[in-house]
Amino acid sequence: MQLYFAPLEGITGFTYRNIHHEFFGEGIDTYFTPFIVPTGGGFTKNRSMKDILPENNVGVPIVPQLLSNNAEDFTGLVKILLDLGYEEVNLNLGCPYQTVVSKGRGSGFLGRLDDLERFFDTIFESCNDKIAISVKTRLGLERDEEWAGILDLYNKYPIKELTVHARTRKEFYKGTPNMEAFAYAVANSKNPLCYNGDIFTKSDYHKFRENFPQTESMMIGRGLLTNPALVREIKGGPAITKEEIMAFHDKLYEEFLVLFQSETNTMFKMKELWNYWQYLFVETENSKAVSKYIKQIRKAQRAADYLSVARMLFTMCDIKEEARFEG
C-alpha cells in the first residue's frame, strides 16, 4: 500500500514537511504540496515557488499540486516544474472552499464538464509524454449522482492515479464518505485509484483494506495532522509518545520562528496545529484538563504565555490509544 500525506493550505509547507519527515516520515511514500495557482505563462507567487524548490525539500519525496482551470497557465507551470526535475504533477479538482469554487477551480470545475474536457484535451496532449498527471477529485458539486458522468470523463484520459475524496463539494467534510461511490470507482475506473477521506486511526485503515483490498494507494490528511505518527502505527510501528509530540512541537516552533522572524506569527501558526493535536490527548470527565489548556492556548497573546500553557498540557495530559479528529 502506497501511503501519501495530503496537503493542507497554510500548514503543510516545506518547513512542516521537512520536520515531519525527520520525525515521522518512515513509511510515507509521498508528500503532496499545498496547491499552487499558476498565473500568466505558468508563473506563480514567489511563496509557492519557494515551497517546491528542490533545495527546500532535500530527501523529502514530494509531488506539486496545481490548482487551475486555464490550460495555458497549467502547461506553462509544468515546463517550469520539468526544469526543476519533477516527474509528476497533481491536479486539484477537490478543493471545496468558496473562494476557489467561485473561480471555477478545484471542485468548482466539476460543474463544467465540457470545459473540463477541453482543459484535459489540451494538458494531456501537451504534457503527457513529458510528465505524469495525477488528479484529486470529489464526487461532484451537489449530488453523488454526478459521479458516474465525472468518472466517465476521467476514463478518457491516461491519469497516472485518481485520488477520490468520497464526498461532494456541498458536503465539505461533514457526514461520512460515500463508500458505495468509491466502490463504483473501483468497479469502473480505467485509471489506478487512491482513496482519501476519514482515515483517522489504524483501525480505520484496516477496515478500509478489508473492504477494498484491490486499492493500493491511500492519501491521509487530517488523520496525519492529528497523529503525526499514524503511518508508522498503520505499518505496525510503535504509537506516538508525549515525548515525541513535544519534541516535534518544539522543532516546529523553532523553525517557524526562523521562517517568520516573529514570535507572534509563529505562535498563531502553532495554534492552527492545536486544532488537530488536541484530539491526541485524553480528556477526563472530572478535570476537563485538555479543554482547559486548549482554551488558554487559543487566548494566549504572548509567545511566552503560549509556550507555558503548551508545556503544561504536554506534562499533565496523557496520549490516547487511538486519536480521532473530531472537528
CA geometry: angle 74, 165, 197, nearest 5 deg: 135
pLDDT in the model for residue 42: 65
Per-residue pLDDT averaged across 52-76, rounded?
A: 96
Instruction: Determine the Cα–Cα distance for residues 186 and 177; give it in Å rounded to an integer.
Output: 15
- What pLDDT is stored for residue 286 in this prediction? 60
Band of the pLDDT at 191, cuts 50, 70, 90? very high
Domains of the chain (ranges; CATH) run 2-234 (3.20.20.70), 242-316 (no CATH)
Task: Answer yes or no: are the C-beta atoms of 218 and 199 closer than 8 Å.
Answer: yes
Average pLDDT over residues 171-189: 97
What is residue 33's DSSP assignment?
P
Show the CA angle centred on residue 250, arms to residues 24 and 53, nearest 5°. 60
User: Residue 264: which H helix or E strand, with range?
Assistant: helix 263-277
> Which cell numbers in the block locate residue 45?
507567487
Q: What is the mean pLDDT of the chain?
A: 95
- At residue 288, the pLDDT reads 82
**Spatial distance between the Cα atoms of 105 and 68, rounded to a whole number of angstroms:** 6
Listed in sequence order, the DSSP H helices in 161-262 are 179-188, 202-211, 222-226, 230-234, 242-260
Q: pTM for this one?
A: 0.95
Compute the average pLDDT of residues 117-131: 95
User: By C-alpha distance, which of 196, 197, 194, 127 is closest to 157?
Assistant: 127
